[in-house]
Structure 1
Amino acid sequence: MTILLLGSGGREHAFAWKMIQSPLCTQLFVAPGNAGTDAIATNVNISPTDFQAIKKLVLEENIEMVVVGPEDPLVQGIFDFFKNDNQLQSIPVIGPSKVGAQLEGSKEFAKEFMVKHRVPTAAYDSFTKETVEKGCRFLETLQPPYVLKADGLAAGKGVLILQNLKEAQQELRNMLVGAKFGQASSKVVIEEFLDGIELSCFVLTDGKNYKILPTAKDYKRIGEGDTGLNTGGMGAISPVPFADAVLMEKIEKRIVIPTVEGLQKDAIPYQGFIFIGLINVKGEPIVIEYNVRMGDPETEVVIPRLKNDLVELFIAVANQKLDEVELEIDSRSATTVMVVSGGYPEDYEKGKEISGIENIEDSIVFHAGTKTENGKVVSNGGRVLAVTSYGKDFQEAIKKSYQNINQLHFDTMYYRKDIGFDLLG
């Protein structure tokens, strides 16, 4: 079948890498893609949110399935766009409906959904510009640190964790009155802080059946020892060593099942991934947030551990027959390390020529922010490459990733040298 994959990051390169291994995938288009997808599929210079251009491509190329990588087209309603168009409605879109995508598109919607369906989560309240002073008073009722979350999409950067009450109150004003995160922070959710260790649980659902994919843990901050600014993710490991059978059973019973059943009860069409950001507080899993797509860089460690044919899984999702599929998972660990542009997540330069990719051995290089220019691969984003490796445990896998990163070079290149540091000992 001919498939269209939307997106341009490391997540999309990992999807493409896996999908082209399927005998069911005869042709793969990626819009807009990157230098990595360009080498294995057909890149098309179309934005994932340009629905009319996507429609034209789908009809011209007889595309039979659309797989959505990033959150923006989902929140903007690409699933509904296809379902409501006579020419497109028979083509499956792997991703939730517009209302389902609100689980990520609105922190308040997600919180209300969790409370309604008794999914364990932190206590919270939400505020607007008009109620900013009420929000400041609410902060006074909490213990530090204080968690402020922009309600809308802020590219993974709309969450502030602050120790000082006065600073938290000032930042709340900056977000609501000063529009620190633009439209995304026109509403802000204030949440109680949970102290524990984070992990990500990924679920693939057809709307009634579900499969739990391998767990992963990512490392968000730019500096070693988890210091400095938040990023889109600097590396990841799978599986999470502390996610034992007892914890996974609690996650399934208390979180996954109520979430999938909640979607059905609320009549929310949902055929795609649910990324559940969790925190393990003294052995009890509590939901921090939902995302409505796979994480990045977690995809670069989860998908390589999946032995199943990914296209076959997507067809099962489209036909609501996921219960007929048995998941097969590679028992090895997988790790990925993100190589980023100097200055990221703040100002950085693009267009730096990348060398050494051809020298990588025993690791997979997934392109994130790259493009092909005059036959050369150059940097085209903050997060540039993800180097993924297998090992008998995450220590062996991470060692391979670091050995192979030594083969890579581009001007101002930076990476964290301590991925997995908190899981040792």
Structure 2
Amino acid sequence: LRDMLVNHLFGEASARVLVEEYLSGIEVSVFVLTDGENYVLLPEAKDYKRIGENDEGPNTGGMGAVSPVPFADETFMRKVKEHIIEPTIDGLKKENIPYCGFIFFGLMNVSGEPYVIEYNVRLGDPETEALIPRIETDLVDLLSACARGQLKGKSIEINPQTAVTVMMVSGGYPGNYAKGKFIQGLQTTAPGTMIFHAGTKPHGDEVVTDGGRVLTATGLGGDVHEARKLAYRALEGISFEHSYFRRDIGVDLQQTGGR
């Protein structure tokens, strides 16, 4: 609190704090696309916010994500739909707030019960890099139907494979960091992996760093173990001066028998 309120660690974003009930559990991010009347449920994901392994150190914008989340089974998701998603959309209608687009439900799983931590009217990052590769339905068609208010009856096909996304960041992030570091190895993406740029920019024929969170690697595999191997194999081929990434993304889900 002293760093945020006195030392202005996050600038205006930490000028005020909200005191809430402490919830002990595991976080999960749930996403829907709604036209204001109907909605389509997108794949869920778990993200890893701390800079250090074993969830140590300060919070970041996100250091990695896994989708699907093993505990988000049919029973858990039914509770989410009935007690959170549908009442939220109904509440928007009752308050005459027309809304069309994504809703991001930041939830906490407390002994099998979902609690809302936050809402966002966007997708998440790095959750998006894990969930989008699992969507097999044409996303443009869904977005078009949403914009026209025609999501009723629309369904979505989801790849049953597991996606693991790992963020590569600049040394010093989430504190002070340097920019303009030349990135090597972007031309050698391994099969089964995808690289998503974030804090990068072109510099002549090269690509250089231009932010704290620089890029992500996503691996898509049959389970968490396989997807992790693919994601980390991709990152091992990419480098820039003082680069850093967590090496434990998904380990906790792998140990609990995640898909």
Q: TM-score, normalised by structure 2?
A: 0.94
Correspondence for 1:398: 228
1:407 partner amino acid: G
1:373 aligns with 2:190: no
Question: 1:20-419 maps to which residues of 2 (within 5 A)?
Answer: 171=2, 175=5, 181-185=10-14, 187-362=16-191, 363-419=193-249
2:196 partner amino acid: F
Tell me the SS of whatever aligns to 1:280: strand
Shift of 1:251: 0.5
Tell me the SS of whatever aligns to 1:191: coil
Give the Cα separation in 2 of the matches to 1:365 and 1:290. Answer: 27
Tell me the SS of whatever aligns to 1:409: coil
Give the Cα separation in 1 of the matches to 2:34 and 2:41. Answer: 9
Tell me the SS of whatever aligns to 1:301: helix
2:27 partner amino acid: E
Shift of 1:324: 3.2
User: Aligned in 2, Cα 1:181/1:383: closer, same or farther, shift over 3 Å?
Assistant: closer
Q: Which has the higher helix share?
A: 1
How many residues align structurally?
Answer: 254
Give the Cα separation in 2 of the matches to 1:355 and 1:185. Answer: 35
Shift of 1:179: 6.2
Give the Cα separation in 1 of the matches to 2:58 and 2:209. Answer: 21
Shift of 1:188: 3.0
Give the Cα separation in 1 of the matches to 2:150 and 2:43. Answer: 20
Specify the structure having the higher radius of gyration (Cα). Answer: 1
Tell me the SS of whatever aligns to 1:232: coil
CA RMSD of aligned residues (A): 1.6
1:202 partner amino acid: F
Cα contact 2:31–2:41 (8 A) shared by 1: yes
- Percent identity, please: 55
Q: C-alpha offsets along residues 254-289 of structure 1, whole Å, 9 cap, x if unaligned?
A: 000001111111111211111100000001100010
Q: C-alpha offsets along residues 357-396 of structure 1, whole Å, 9 cap, x if unaligned?
A: 1111121000011011111111111111100111111111
Shift of 1:236: 0.4
User: Aligned in 2, Cα 1:285/1:339: closer, same or farther, shift over 3 Å?
Assistant: same
User: Aligned in 2, Cα 1:186/1:383: closer, same or farther, shift over 3 Å?
Assistant: closer
Shift of 1:184: 4.0
User: Aligned in 2, Cα 1:186/1:410: closer, same or farther, shift over 3 Å?
Assistant: closer
Cα contact 1:225–1:421 (8 A) shared by 2: no
Shift of 1:311: 1.2
Q: C-alpha offsets along residues 74-94 of structure 1, whole Å, 9 cap, x if unaligned?
A: xxxxxxxxxxxxxxxxxxxxx
